[in-house]
Amino acid sequence: MNNITTDQMMEIRKNVLDKEFFRMNDRQREAVFCVNGPLLILAGAGSGKTTVLVNRIANIIRYGNAYISKTISSYLTEEDLKAARRYLSADEPLTPQVKGHFAVEPCRPWQILAITFTNKAAGELKNRLIAMLGEEGNDIWASTFHSTCARMLRHDGEKLGYSNHFTIYDTDDSRRMMKECQKTLNIDDKILSYKSILSAISHAKDSMILPGEYVQQAGNDSRLGMIGQAYKLYQAKLKEADAMDFDDLICNAVYLLQQNPDVLEYYQNKFRYVMVDEYQDTNHAQYLLVKLLAQKSANLCVVGDDDQSIYKFRGATIENILSFEKNFPNAKVIRLEQNYRSTKNILNAANAVIENNRERKGKTLWTDNPAGEKLGVHTAFSEQDEADFIAKKILEGVAAGRKFSDHAILYRMNSQSNILEKIFVKSGIPYRIIGGLRFYERKEIRDMIAYLSVINNPYDEIRLRRIINQPKRSIGDKTIAQATEIAATLGESVFDVIKTADQYEPLKRTAPKLLQFAATMQQLIDAANDEHTSLNELYHLILDKTDYIGSLKASEKRRRAGQDRQYQRTCVNLIKYEEDNGEEATLSGFLEEVSLLTDIDNFDGNFDSVVMMTIHSAKGLEFPVVFLPGFEEGIFPGMQAIYNPLEIEEERRLAYVAITRAKEELYVVNAESRMIFGSTSRNKPSRFVEEIPEELVVRSRTREWKKPAPACPFPLLLLRHGWLRPNRRAASARRT
């Protein structure tokens, strides 16, 4: 290759890479090719950030730093350059070997860590990587913060005093445990509620404040002192149960890395590249985790939008993204401002609202999409009139050819859904309420998960107490309390006491039932430890040994409600988990997966029904038609935020998120009067509505409430969509 210069070879290589990633715009490609060093990608709503993440990872694996580097691979041949020219001029595909010769310091898939905020986002990222890279995409660590930390703690948790099959407690488990702590400490829930205590503990963990530090900082404040004592006891009980709550997963992973240089070195060497999505929603503990992991390589890429930072109530701090360049010197910032989702009118409205915030880095979204319909701003007489207006618009849309699932209603407070549900039922509009609750909240499913948890970890006393009398075994609360007291006195687990119940006088009367339960559980534990028993087989063994299905079917009320079939959903997910993970499938792994799963992760847009959810839950989703009810001062923004400039900015960011969920049509609705907490209030329209330029909106109002004529008769609507079969006998009778 004596007749070609290094600069010419670099030019050919750049042209090849530009063509490989030609589908992206200039700013997106810049982010893809910026490989080394700290990078902040400010990705506006609908700007294709997932596409950028996927292609950036693919580029790092295939080509490394080839686009910017001046290094030329010694493997590059004249034939490779000829192949490249043919590719550039005639679209003749490049072979993997030629692509490899153009690469400069490419990375293996398992050396990349990509952290997302939801399992749904992690799944989408991985699926798209597999589509681009083939099976190599499976080797990338793409998971949520909690899943990433749980995986690290499963491997090295013993260094912090946990087994590798520790239990992850969900919100219900934490509630049960905190109520026990309140009882032990004589804390009246009416004076200091378990919710308040758990919220304070969660914020303390987000800030990496240990129980002892919390008590010390409380000083003479009696309320904080009680919280501190509850925090200490709560953590002691968690440790005793070999369990962690969601916040523990993050802060314990940080402690693991801080206190064990060998573990820190292992992960710093393992991950050459660390990428974090939704960085604006990280808390202090998550920031420390990311900083520790990327400290050695400095190859940290974070993607986020300061204008969409809406989780302050969960401990998120917008300062993490605002101070990125300060925290990571020599960082590069790339703004993705082209929006592919919304119409110009919707986008201009969103820009106009968010520009009123001061605490932001600044960017202006734009789009090549058409102007579209103007925003509908409707003032209703009452909340019922508001719901009627929304129902009428949905029915009009469906009559014009839209699907019910094209419509979403996003509200500030969960309570706003009540009146909408009533009106939708009357109007024959199918709907689904999607929440941020854990997916496995249904009682029957929770019972089955509790059985699996105790089999995995017999020290999990919270879940042991849940199942000891499910199905009914005539083991009362008094017996359970006595067993717990004996266990505490002897320093043993409750399960160990139950296994030898006939040795304790207080348990003599119920000993046969306790021993039978213990024997059943021991059989199941032995089966779980048998490598020849699959998780699906174990699950059916639980159903058989406990006669759980029989007890459900015996309940006529539950049988009619279909709850005797809820357990099947767990079975389906177990089978899918085993298929996805093959030989690596474990009981603790499955329990970890389901404990971190939410309704949002299981959101499926294929169901033809209107979607209702809070604005917080709608983050990352999009819909052709969006309704935003309750845009009133005191509702949105909330009363607690009105006099606090920082809180108002958070509320405005939430309004920005709500507006940018809409693709084609947006309706912002407020009511002149609304029943709130049992009393009627009259609120003026939200300031966020007033911040939208008048030329972008079409206003309408209802002067007084009237029951609107249905857009489509209810039976006819049911017939049209196949939800009701015509009564042929009745029709025949009418004809005669």
Express each pLDDT in 171-216 by its tens digit: 889 999 999 999 999 999 999 999 999 999 999 999 999 999 999 9
Please, is 582 exposed, middle or buried when counting C-beta atoms within 10 Å of its C-beta (0-12, 13-18, 19+)?
exposed
From the candidates 278, 307, 383, 386, give the one annotated as an active-site residue: 278
Q: What local confidence, expressed as pLDDT, does residue 592 receive?
A: 83
Higher-scoring residue by pLDDT: 10, 726: 10
pLDDT of residue 680: 82
d(CA 319, CA 360) in angstroms, rounded, equals 10
612-630: pLDDT as tens digits? 999 999 998 999 999 999 9
What percent of the chain is predicted at pLDDT more than 90? 70
Given this model, what pLDDT does residue 8 score? 87
Q: What is the pLDDT of residue 731?
A: 39
- pLDDT score at 7: 87
The one catalytic residue among 27, 29, 49, 128: 49
**295-310: pLDDT as tens digits:** 999 999 999 999 999 9
In this predicted structure, the answer to whether residue 552 has a pLDDT above a threshold of 80 is no
User: Cα–Cα distances in Å, from 528 out to 157, 163, 372, 440?
Assistant: 21, 17, 58, 22
pLDDT in the model for residue 150:
95
Q: Which of 20, 30, 206, 277 is catalytic?
A: 277
Catalytic residue among 28, 116, 167, 308: 308
Q: Cα–Cα distance between 135 and 250 in angstroms, integer?
A: 29
**Non-local CB neighbours of 620 within 8 Å, separated by 6+ positions:** 118, 120, 121
pLDDT band at 716 (very low <50, low <70, confident <90, very high): very low
Task: Considering the candidates 14, 18, 50, 159, report the single residue annotated as catalytic.
Answer: 50
The average pLDDT across 567-575 equals 72
**How confident is residue 555, by pLDDT bands cut at 50, 70 and 90?**
low
pLDDT at residue 702, rounded to an integer:
84
Q: What are the tens digits of pLDDT across the range 640-689?
A: 899 899 999 999 999 999 999 999 999 999 999 998 767 788 889 999 99
**pLDDT at site 714:** 43
661 catalytic, yes or no? yes
Residue pair 538/523 in contact (Cβ under 8 Å)? The answer is no
Is the predicted pLDDT of residue 597 greater than 80, yes or no? no
User: Comparing C-alpha atoms, which of 314, 241, 316 is closest to residue 276?
Assistant: 316
Catalytic: 27?
no
Residue 559 has pLDDT above 90, yes or no: no
Mean pLDDT (the chain) is 89
Most confident of 260-269, 580-589, 635-644: 260-269
Sorting pLDDT into bands at 50, 70 and 90, what band is 722? Answer: very low
DSSP secondary structure of 450-488: HHHHHHH-TT-HHHHHHHTTSS--S--HHHHHHHHHHHH
Catalytic residue among 499, 661, 663, 674: 661
pLDDT interval class at 724 (50, 70, 90) = very low
> pLDDT of 320-366, one tens digit each?
999 999 999 999 999 999 999 999 999 999 999 999 999 999 899 99
Q: Give the Cα separation of 656 and 642 in Å (integer).
A: 17
pLDDT at 109: 96
pLDDT of residue 441: 63
Q: What is the mean pLDDT of residues 369-398?
A: 97
| pLDDT tens-digit map of 497-510 | 999 999 999 999 99
Q: Extract long-range pairs of 109-112: CB within 8 Å, 24+ residues apart.
A: 109/61, 109/133, 109/136, 109/137, 109/138, 109/139, 109/140, 110/139, 110/140, 110/141, 110/270, 111/270, 111/271, 111/272, 111/273, 112/57, 112/60, 112/61, 112/140, 112/141, 112/271, 112/272, 112/273, 112/275
Determine whether 49 is an active site residue. Answer: yes
pLDDT at 422 over 50: yes
Average pLDDT rounded to a whole number, residues 285-295: 98
Tens digits of residue pLDDT in 138-175: 899 999 999 999 999 999 999 999 999 999 998 889 99
The rounded distance, in Å, linking the Cα atoms of 156 and 138 is 23
CA–CA dist 179, 589 (Å, integer) = 28
Q: State both tokens at 705.
A: 């409430």
For residues 690-708, give the mean pLDDT.
83
Active site residue 277: yes
In order of their start, the domains of the chain are 6-154+260-336 (3.40.50.300), 167-241 (1.10.10), 345-430+608-701 (3.40.50.300), 439-599 (1.10.486.10)
Lowest mean pLDDT among 46-55, 163-172, 176-185, 596-605: 596-605
Q: Inform me whether the pLDDT recorded for 703 exceeds 70.
A: no
Q: Are 691 and 356 in contact (CB under 8 A)?
A: yes
